[in-house]
Structure 1
């Protein structure tokens, strides 16, 4: 688990500051966490989401500083925990459904299907964001715009993440740092939408 991981254009050798842009761009998650925390005030769901965004900040920063396999696992787990918690919160917060616990397994099933069809592990999140937007738009809930924008931003972010290794010859620092910056915005948007004053 301590094996060295070199998966991004910016990193060319082991070392704590081998990915300065990828490491520093994680501050977008910290900013999002602080903003959501302050916005949430007494809202427990909002405070929970703020804490989970903070966890993403810590795990992703550790991964890009240390570049080890255990840190990569921590990074992936932190993202997964946020997504699964949100999948459970969404039906409860926006629809008042008592069967909110069906959200996480439904999302995992969608992820499995999209992965088996060659869409990778993140395509399900894009689909989920646009599905949330459509459901809320149908109910004429103004929050649908948060999810529509978040879906568009995440689709762009995923494209930039995918391109990182392909543009190394032209852009030595790669595009992964943009994945962090844009995803900080995505997590802020969806968390802000879930906060109920």
Structure 2
């Protein structure tokens, strides 16, 4: 693997220079703003703050990728996303379903064969095939939402909203190159903005659930 290999995968980028994707780069502020906002809101909910830290890292990693556009920066981009997804699966399984850490850990490992099976569904779709690697995530969130609709209806509704926002953001990610000729700026920047909102919202859903589970003072 050549860590300094140049990667040009987005409509906005026209050359290898640092600021060749100014809008894609700057809109990563959505992740940073959401992370700081949720850190402040999550006082007393330790794992919500941990998710906020990872969300901040997502913004930094994506900024590096949309400026340096090299293999090492792509790794810095996708690694925090993977950590966020796997950590959320652990927390959702443990805290939404009241399972122990062993079951929650097993859910993390189960995600990989699940994603392997679910990914072809998105690869078969005309537009979403370019974002097929992300498709299993909102689908899994919807599965959790459906499963929790009786056990924790407020949490289930929150998860469904989060999945909906992510699906819209995936649409913008997927149409970036197909619309490039008529829209030179591309649409990838909307993936950043909506994903910042969605991932921040997912932390809020977790925070609210955990606070609702705490014993109320008499």
User: Matched residue of 2:177: which SS?
Assistant: helix
Q: Deviations over 1:85-127 (max 9, x none)?
A: 1111101121220021112112222111123453621111021
Matched, 1:111 2:138: no
- What TM-score does the superposition give when structure 2 sets the normalisation length? 0.86
Q: Deviations over 1:138-163 (max 9, x none)?
A: 21431222111111111111111111
User: Matched residue of 1:13: which SS?
Assistant: coil
Query: How many residues get paired?
Result: 197
Identify which of structures 1 and 2 has the higher relative contact order when contacts are C-alpha pairs closer than 8 Å and 6+ apart: 1
Of residues 13, 16, 24, the one that matches 2:15 is 13
Distance in 2, Cα, partners of 1:192 & 1:106: 25
Q: Structure 2 regions of 5+ residues with no counterpart? A: 124-128, 212-218
Distance in 1, Cα, partners of 2:152 & 2:58: 32
Check conservation: 1:3, 1:69, Cα contact below 8 A.
yes
Distance in 2, Cα, partners of 1:34 & 1:73: 23
Range that drifts further, 137-146 or 19-28: 137-146
User: Matched residue of 1:142: which SS?
Assistant: helix
Q: How does 1:26-45 map to 2 (within 5 A)?
A: 26-45=28-47
User: Matched residue of 2:51: which SS?
Assistant: helix
Q: How does 1:85-100 map to 2 (within 5 A)?
A: 85-98=87-100, 99-100=103-104
Q: Which has the larger radius of gyration?
A: 2
Aligned residue for 1:190?
202
User: Matched residue of 2:89: which SS?
Assistant: helix
Aligned residue for 1:128?
140
- What TM-score does the superposition give when structure 1 sets the normalisation length? 0.95
Distance in 1, Cα, partners of 2:152 & 2:89: 20
Distance in 1, Cα, partners of 2:105 & 2:40: 27
Q: Structure 1 regions of 5+ residues with no counterpart? A: none
RMSD: 1.3
User: Matched residue of 1:133: which SS?
Assistant: helix
Distance in 2, Cα, partners of 1:115 & 1:163: 18
User: Matched residue of 1:90: which SS?
Assistant: helix
| CA shift for structure 1 position 48 | 0.6
Of residues 183, 187, 196, the one that matches 1:171 is 183
Distance in 1, Cα, partners of 2:157 & 2:31: 21
User: Matched residue of 2:176: which SS?
Assistant: helix
